Amino acid sequence: MASVVSKKRKKNTTSLSHLKTLGHDLLTSRAHINNLPTLLSFVSSSSPPQYVLEALLSLQAFFTSVLPDLPSSSKKPSSRTVSQDDPEFIYRTWLKAKFDEFVKSLIDVLVSPQSEETIKELVLDTLMEFVKLGNGGRFNSAIYHKLVHSIVHSATPVTFLLDLLVSKYFKYIDIRYFTYIIVEKICRTLEEKSVSDGDNESQSKESTENLIHNVHYILSRIPALEGSADKADYEMWSGSGEPENVSGKLKGEDKKKKSDQNNSKILTASNSAKKMKPKFTKAWLSFLRLPLPLDVYKEVLASLHTAVIPYLSNPVILCDFLTTSYDIGGVISVMALSSLFILMTQHGLEYPNFYEKLYALLVPSIFMAKHRSKFFQLLDSCLKSPLLPAYLAAAFAKKLSRLSISVPPSGALVIIALIHNLLRRHPSINCLVHRVDEEASKGDSEADKKVSENSEDPINSADVSNKKLCIDHFKNEESDPKKSKAMRSSLWEIDTLRHHYCPAVSRFVLSLENDLTVRAKTTELSIEDFSSGSYATIFADETKGKTSSTGILQSTSHLFVLRH
């Protein structure tokens, strides 16, 4: 048994040594060009890592030296300059075919689950060197497209490769530029394929979702273009790409004209920066048209207002995506609110049913949602306009008031702060604080008469008193704030918070006893100070005596009580 193992080791050592000899001979003389196919056969995920490494290093050194002489696959040779029967042309064409085979083998090794991470990193660096040099010194978009396309469509996890790509190469502006172009093409192809397939259940939903996850991973990690697009000091991966001197035989104006045309096609750092915004916009729009998985959908909505909208050519083009998301309801609507609010306030988007949808989001579950803090801040901002109709401000105030008796203490604190700001901004709804219902008043006088006439019957008297105190015209289940009859109601629920079991709530509600119509003596409350509260924060503030959110509540409520 030991002899068999020793023979295998000797064979492996000899093979590896022979492989090194083949590579050395290939690099020293064209006479050993037949070593090229042999070396290529070792660039495979099934080969041992040390064999892959040795073959890769030899082949990279060989092709790097001959790349400038290889014919372009996109251009056909001119019969006047080069004959297709020319041995040199045949040789270079054969080399080009072998180079393409080498690139394909490298990509196969790169995305193979059998390859080690060290080999993958080396392969990626080799491919990126070919991207840098494989087009006459200019960016080889064909190789880069194959690379990104293979990574994105890989059925195995490629997070390691994507992280390498992001950390090593996304700092170069030309890499970013071509990445946006490739992502747009991938998304368009996927969209067309899904449309043509229709309801074909044989289509693997899992593979499609995996592809979308990979595309989003790339898009969300491309650094934004900071500063002016006119800057010329952005880092480029490839050279400036000076065109070859094809105008040597031209003279005068023709030479200058040809030179200007060539210069206009050069992708410089400045040109890339100027073209970046349209490419960014097209890539994201193509991506948002795809059937996004729920987790990706939420991630996109969570970052859209900060990572995407500021860099779009025209942010209003997102209106269909955002209004559709906002109409879905639930947590999706909450997450779409930030971006939709930016489009409405900063880019002139008109959305007639915005407040009706916002009103529908006021349900008990919103006070326990993950993004509740941002939602309450946006809700406060949406209700800030002095042009807001009184019935709308009253409907929101009353809806919040009704919710205050069924939400956790932290939710009640936010509600009090929101109602405080509403009453201060819209004096016309302050009647809700001290509402005397006309019908109830008439009932009072009639009831008093009956009580005086039937004073001997205390049961009758109690029944009449109960009837006159149970009138609230507000329609809590009505989805249209205009039909909720909030202006005919009152904020009686807020008065019950004076006896709330949580001291922070019962103290803070005293702030609403002040006359909020006198703006000179009052100030708006920052919703941010209350929107992130929970049982834990309230308990911590009460036990430790820290002046965080509860401390602010105490000082604010005492201030209002003193002024009152």
Q: Would the pLDDT of 521 be above 60?
A: yes
- Residues 122-143, mean pLDDT to the nearest whole number: 90
Domain that holds residue 513: 361-434+475-544
The answer to whether residues 299 and 426 belong to one domain is no
In a domain, 497, yes or no: yes
Q: What does the pLDDT look like over 284-327, one tens digit per residue?
A: 999 999 999 999 999 999 999 999 999 999 999 999 999 999 99
Handedness of CA 479, 481, 483, 485 (dihedral sign): positive
40-49, 232-241, 311-320, 519-528: the lowest-pLDDT one: 232-241
The answer to whether residues 298 and 429 belong to one domain is no
The answer to whether residues 335 and 407 belong to one domain is no
Residue 15's alpha-carbon distances to 40, 55, 59, 243, 427, in angstroms, are 15, 12, 17, 44, 90
Q: What does the pLDDT look like over 464-488, one tens digit per residue?
A: 444 455 588 899 999 999 999 999 9
Are 500 and 409 in contact by the 8 Å Cβ rule? The answer is yes
Are 522 and 514 in contact by the 8 Å Cβ rule? The answer is yes
In a domain, 16, yes or no: no
The answer to whether residues 298 and 430 belong to one domain is no
Q: How far apart are CA 138 and CA 432, in angstroms?
A: 71
Residue 408's alpha-carbon distances to 198, 379, 479, in angstroms, are 46, 19, 23
Into how many domains does the chain fold?
2
The answer to whether residues 407 and 498 belong to one domain is yes
Give the pLDDT score at 558: 42
Q: Return the top range by mean pLDDT from 165-179, 241-255, 259-273, 526-540.
A: 165-179
In a domain, 219, yes or no: no
The answer to whether residues 405 and 368 belong to one domain is yes
Q: Would the pLDDT of 462 be above 80?
A: no
Q: Would the pLDDT of 247 be above 60?
A: no
The answer to whether residues 335 and 386 belong to one domain is no
Percent of the chain with pLDDT over 70: 77
Q: Check residues 76 and 428 and name the one with the higher pLDDT.
A: 428
Q: How far apart are CA 186 and CA 183, in angstroms?
A: 5
In a domain, 84, yes or no: no
Burial of 304 (0-12, 13-18, 19+ CB in 10 A): buried
The answer to whether residues 301 and 409 belong to one domain is no
Q: What does the pLDDT look like over 158-204, one tens digit per residue?
A: 999 999 999 999 999 999 999 999 999 999 999 888 766 655 554 57
Give the pLDDT score at 465: 44
Give the pLDDT score at 538: 78
Q: Would the pLDDT of 245 be above 90?
A: no
In a domain, 33, yes or no: no
In a domain, 105, yes or no: no
Q: How far apart are CA 9 and CA 431, in angstroms?
A: 94
Six token digits for residue 340: 């939709």
Q: How far apart are CA 101 and CA 47, in angstroms?
A: 16
Q: Would the pLDDT of 358 be above 90?
A: yes
Q: How far apart are CA 535 and CA 409, in angstroms?
A: 7
Are 232 and 207 in contact by the 8 Å Cβ rule? The answer is no
In a domain, 495, yes or no: yes
Q: How far apart are CA 534 and CA 376, in angstroms?
A: 14
What are 30-38's contacts with CB under 8 Å, separation 24+? 36/62, 36/98, 37/98
Q: Would the pLDDT of 258 be above 70?
A: no
The answer to whether residues 345 and 400 belong to one domain is no
Give the pLDDT score at 151: 95
Handedness of CA 122, 128, 134, 136 (dihedral sign): negative
The DSSP 8-state label assigned to residue 138 in this structure reads B
Q: Would the pLDDT of 260 be above 60?
A: no
Q: Would the pLDDT of 127 be above 50?
A: yes
Q: How far apart are CA 266 and CA 137, in angstroms?
A: 11
Give the pLDDT score at 14: 45
The answer to whether residues 366 and 340 belong to one domain is no
In a domain, 283, yes or no: no
The answer to whether residues 323 and 404 belong to one domain is no
The answer to whether residues 332 and 425 belong to one domain is no
Q: Check residues 408 and 456 and name the one with the higher pLDDT.
A: 408
